[in-house]
Amino acid sequence: MPPLRIALAQVNAVVGDLEGNAERVRDGLRSAHDAGAQLVLFPECVITGYPAEDLLLREHFLRDARAALQDIAADVHGLVAIVGCPERAEDLFNSAAVLADGAVRAWYRKMHLPNYGVFDELRYFQSGAGGAVIEVDGVRVGLTVCEDVWSPGSPLAEEALAGATVIVNVSASPYHAGKGLERERMIAQRARDNLSVVAFCALVGGQDELIFDGHSFVVDHEGHAIARAPQFTESLLVADVDPDAAAAARLRDTRQRPAARSVRGEVAHLGAFMTAGSQDEAPVQRGPLAPVLERDAEVYAALVLGTHDYVEKNGFAHAVIGLSGGIDSTLVALVAVDALGADRVTCVTMPSPYSSPETLGDARALAANLGVELLEVPIAPAMGAYDAALAPPFAGRAPDITEENLQARIRGNLLMALSNKFGWIVLTTGNKSEMSVGYSTLYGDSAGGFAVIKDVPKLLVYRLVEERARRDRDAGTELVVPATIVTRAPSAELRADQRDEDSLPPYQVLDRIIEGYVEGDLDRDQLVARGLPADDVDRVLRLIDLAEYKRRQNPPGIKITTRAFGRDRRMPITNRYRPAAGGRPPSRAPARTAGPGRR
C-alpha cells in the first residue's frame, strides 16, 4: 500500500469569528490540496474558536457554526478533511466532522471531556459513545479529539484494535511551560503501545488568558517524530506516513489479537473515501522537524504571542506602558515591542520625589534603544493636590502606606487617561510573585487592560530579560536593556530607600513557596520539610490567602505556569480556613490586616 499523505493545518482561530475561521479553513484546504494531501486535519472547535464558553449555550450561534461548516464542506473535493466543530444533535457534542465529496459525511464525538484546570467541558458538552474509524484510500484511520488520547485505552486503543494503523487527533490544548514536549512524549508512548502512527493537529494562538502553542506533529508506530510544526505560529505540516509498517509490526507482535477480537463491532465505521492524491508514484515526504525551543525562549515566545493576539483580536491599535526603569516594566516593554512593533507602543515615565535619577535614566535609555515613544509626566503636583485635599481628614495622623499607594493610583489614573483619550490599551507590569502576596496597589499599578506577566514569577522575569538579551547577542546587535536594570535591587520607589525585600522574603525563597502552595497545593509542613524557613512560609501563605480579593480585580493575563490565578485556580474570597502547623486542627483565620505595604 502506498504511503498516506497527511496535512496538519495549525491555524489561529478567533473565538466567535465564524466567517474568519471558515476562511482560515478554506486557506488550509487549498494549501493541503496543492501539497497533494489525501487527508487534512484542522484543530478542535476551529470553526467556533476554543474555548467558546457560554456562546455554546446560544442556539443561534450553534446554527451559524453548523452553516459555516456546511459551506466549507461544499468546497471539499479530492481529499478528506477532519474539522473540529460543535455538533448540535440530541445534545451538544465536541465533534470532529468528516468532510468529503462536497458534504459533511460523518461526525466523531469526543469521548473524554476535561473538567479540571482551565477546562469546563462538562458544562457544555455530552460525551461521545465510542471510537470511530474511516478509510482513506484503503487506509483505516482512527478519529480522536484532544483529551481522548491523554489517557491510555479507549478510544485510541479500540480504534487501533479495530484495524486503524493511523490515528488522528485534532486538538486545542492550552499551553504551560514545557507542555509541548510533554504532549509529544505522551503521544509517542500511545503510538508505541498501540503500534499506530499518530498525527496530532493543534490549535495555535492566544485566547484571553490561554495560549495555544501549536507544536503539531506526527509520530510513527515506534514513537519517533517524523514531522513537527513550529511553536507559536501558523503552519501547514505535510508528511507521508507508512501504514504498512505499522501493520507489519502488528503481524510480528501478536499480543493484541485477543483484545482485537473483543472490540469488533464496538467501533463505528463512518465511511470509506477515495481521494485524488494517491501516492503510488510520488516520493515519500517525511515532513520537516521544527526544533523545540528551550524553556525560557519558549515562555518568551508565548508572552509575545499572547500579547499580540489579545491586542489584535480585541481591536486595539496601540499599547501604553508605565515604564519605571525596573525589571518588570522592562520585560513588558520588550514583549510589547516584539509583539506589536515599536511604532505601536508608547511608554510613560511618571517620576515622583522618590524616583531615583538612575531608574529614570534607565527608563529613558531603554525607550530610546527600543525606538518607542516616551512621555514624561511628573506626579509631584498631583501628589501635592491629594495631600492638600486629604489634609483635614488625615489631621494628626502620620504618613503611611496610604500616601505610598496614592502615588501608584495617580500613575494608574494617568495611564487610564491616555487610554481613554487615544484608545490605547494599558499593559500592566505586575508579576506573579507580587500578585500572589498582594504586593500591588488596587486601582494603581494593577489598573489596566491586560496583565502580560501576571503568571511570571520574579526570578523568571530576570531570566526572560536575559533571554531577550541573548537574542540580541546572537544577532550581533547592541543590547537594548541597560545592565543596571538587571543588577539593581528591585524597589517600588514609593518611599525613600525602599526595597522589595524590606517587605517580602528574598525572591529565591518567595518564589519557591508560591510554586509549592499555589501550583502544588502543598501545605505548610510540606513546604517547611523542603527546607523553606518556617516563619517565611507562615507569613507568605497568610498573605496569599488574604490577597484573593485583590487578584479578582486584576485584568486578565497570560497563563504560562501549570496553575495560574484566575480561571485556573479558583479560591473563595470569603474564607476563614487556615491550616495549622504539625497536623493540628485548623485555626480560625485572623481579621484582615494590611498586606506587605501596598493595598
3-state secondary structure of 326: coil
Residue with cell 467556533: 48
Cβ proximity of 123 and 114 under 8 Å? no
3-state secondary structure of 177: coil
| 368 burial level (CB within 10 Å; 0-12, 13-18, 19+) | exposed
Residue 83, all three cell numbers = 474539522
pLDDT in tens, 160-179: 999 999 999 999 999 999 99
Report the distance separating Cα 444 and Cα 322, nearest Å.
Answer: 11
Residue 578, all three cell numbers = 487556615
Half-sphere exposure of 329 (CA within 13 A, CB side): 27
**What's the pLDDT score for residue 277?**
74
Angle at 290 between CA 289 and CA 296, to 5 degrees: 140
pLDDT in tens, 243-275: 999 988 888 887 777 766 666 668 999 999 999
Eight-class DSSP state of 52: -
Please identify every residue annotated as catalytic: 44, 110, 146
**Single-letter residue type at 568:** D
CA distances from 483 to 240, 333, 423 (A): 49, 16, 33
Report the distance separating Cα 400 and Cα 432, nearest Å.
Answer: 25
CA dihedral 134, 140, 145, 147 (to 10 degrees): 140
**What's the pLDDT score for residue 265?**
62
Domain boundaries 296-500+549-569, corresponding CATH code: 3.40.50.620
Phi then psi for residue 138, to 5 deg, are: 85, -5
3-state secondary structure of 138: coil
Give the contacts of 564 (CB within 8 A, at least 6 positions apart): 209, 432, 454, 455, 557
Chain centroid to Cα 515, Å, comes to 18
Select from 451, 209, 491 the least CA-distant residue to 335.
451
Beta bridge partners of 200: 169, 217
Residue 262, all three cell numbers = 473483543
Select from 80, 1, 97 the least CA-distant residue to 39.
80
**Single-letter residue type at 9:** A
Cis omega before residue 155 (within 30°)? yes
SS3 content of the chain, % helix, strand, coil (to 5): 40, 20, 40
DSSP string, 18-30: HHHHHHHHHHHHH
**What's the pLDDT score for residue 65?**
98
Eight-class DSSP state of 585: P
209-245 exposure pattern, b = at least 16 Cβ within 10 A, e = fewer: bbbbbbbbbbbbbebebbbbbbbbebbbbbbbbbbeb
- Helices 357-370 and 327-340: crossing angle in degrees, nearest 10, is 10
**What's the pLDDT score for residue 253?**
82
In the chain, domain spans = 4-277, 296-500+549-569
- Per the rule left: phi > 0, alpha: psi between -120 and 50, beta: everything else, 543 is alpha
3-state secondary structure of 489: coil
Select from 335, 332, 311 the least CA-distant residue to 323.
332
**Single-letter residue type at 386:** Y
Please report, in tens digits, the pLDDT of each residue of the chain (599 residues total).
Answer: 789 999 999 999 999 999 999 999 999 999 999 999 999 999 999 999 999 999 999 999 999 999 999 999 999 999 999 999 999 999 999 999 999 999 999 999 999 999 999 999 999 999 999 999 999 999 999 999 999 999 899 999 999 999 999 999 999 999 999 999 999 999 999 999 999 999 999 999 999 999 999 999 999 999 999 999 999 999 999 999 999 999 888 888 877 777 666 666 689 999 999 998 755 555 556 789 999 999 999 999 999 999 999 999 999 999 999 999 999 999 999 999 999 999 999 999 999 888 888 889 999 999 999 999 999 999 999 999 999 999 999 999 999 989 889 999 999 999 999 999 999 999 999 999 999 999 989 999 999 999 999 999 999 999 999 999 999 898 888 888 999 999 887 776 666 666 767 778 999 999 999 999 999 999 999 999 999 999 999 999 999 999 999 999 999 999 999 999 988 898 999 988 877 766 555 555 555 555 555 56
Report the distance separating Cα 479 and Cα 481, nearest Å.
Answer: 6
Strand 217-219 vs strand 225-228: parallel, antiparallel, or unpaired? antiparallel
**What's the pLDDT score for residue 262?**
67
Cβ proximity of 211 and 17 under 8 Å? no
Chain centroid to Cα 484, Å, comes to 31
**For the chain, first and last CA: distance in Å?**
69
**What's the pLDDT score for residue 584?**
58
CA dihedral 576, 579, 585, 589 (to 10 degrees): -30
Name the helix (H) or strand (E) containing 97. strand 92-100
CA distances from 178 to 298, 377, 392, 480, 524 (A): 8, 41, 56, 28, 27
Report the distance separating Cα 314 and Cα 476, nearest Å.
Answer: 35
Give the contacts of 317 (CB within 8 A, at least 6 positions apart): 344, 423, 424
Name the helix (H) or strand (E) containing 422. helix 401-422
Domain boundaries 4-277, corresponding CATH code: 3.60.110.10
CA distances from 498 to 260, 373, 491, 494, 544 (A): 70, 29, 6, 7, 22
